[in-house]
Structure 1
Amino acid sequence: MAARLLNKGTPAKEWFGVPPTGATVECAEYVFHKVRDGRFYEMNYLIDAQAVQRQLVA
């Protein structure tokens, strides 16, 4: 199973090595789940960490 999620939020603690600045961050996240017998048995996530860091320090 795959999904594209759109995330938006304001970090309240350090995230990606950047202390909280009050900046709001928006990013797409891609998730891939393998399902066996109706249960998730493997989950992988993909996010553009550099794009997030650029927004945090802007």
Structure 2
Amino acid sequence: MIDVYRRYLDCLNDRRWDDLGRFVADDVVYNGERIGLKGYRSMLESDTHAIPDLRFTAELLLADRGVVGCRLFFHCTPRHEFLGFEPTGGQVSFAEHVFYRFGDQKIAEVWSLIDKEAIREQLR
């Protein structure tokens, strides 16, 4: 699973949105809401539009029995509103703690928590 997950991160960082279905299930659930592959792709495209230099960097990565846990770290420059924050032109650094449940070698469910307070403090 970790190899599949690393290829998924490469897909995100390369902005290969048409390949996303190789890694994410058609009926993916994100934070308890069934948004499907189309909704998941739209969310990621929106994030990368708001932050063109957004890179998904795995700091900690663990896998066990169909679940991958990861601490993603971001150092980037928002250009448009992101998570309700208006950009200031400056760089921000923040973490996302995320768990993925896999089914049939694809991401079926995602639980994500982003450190919004870290972003807020840096945009003041």
Partner of 1:56: 123
Give the TM-score taking structure 2 as reference length: 0.43
Quote the offset at 1:42 in angstroms.
0.2
Quick check: 1:3–1:31 contact (8 Å CA) kept in 2?
Answer: yes
RMSD: 1.2
Question: Is 1:46 aligned to 2:113, yes or no?
Answer: yes
1:1-20 superposed matches below 5 A: 1-20=68-87
Quote the offset at 1:13 in angstroms.
0.4
More helix by share: 2
Q: How many residues align?
A: 57
Quick check: 1:16–1:53 contact (8 Å CA) kept in 2?
Answer: no
Question: Runs (4+) of structure 1 moved beyond 3 Å?
Answer: none
CA distance in 1, matches of 2:85, 2:72: 22
Quick check: 1:9–1:25 contact (8 Å CA) kept in 2?
Answer: yes
Which ranges in structure 2 are unaligned for 5 or more consecutive residues? 1-67
Give the TM-score taking structure 1 as reference length: 0.83
- Match for residue 27 of structure 1 among 89, 94, 97: 94
Instruction: Give SS of 1:54's match.
Output: helix
CA distance in 2, matches of 1:5, 1:47: 9
Quote the offset at 1:16 in angstroms.
3.0
Which ranges in structure 1 are unaligned for 5 or more consecutive residues? none
Instruction: Give SS of 1:5's match.
Output: strand
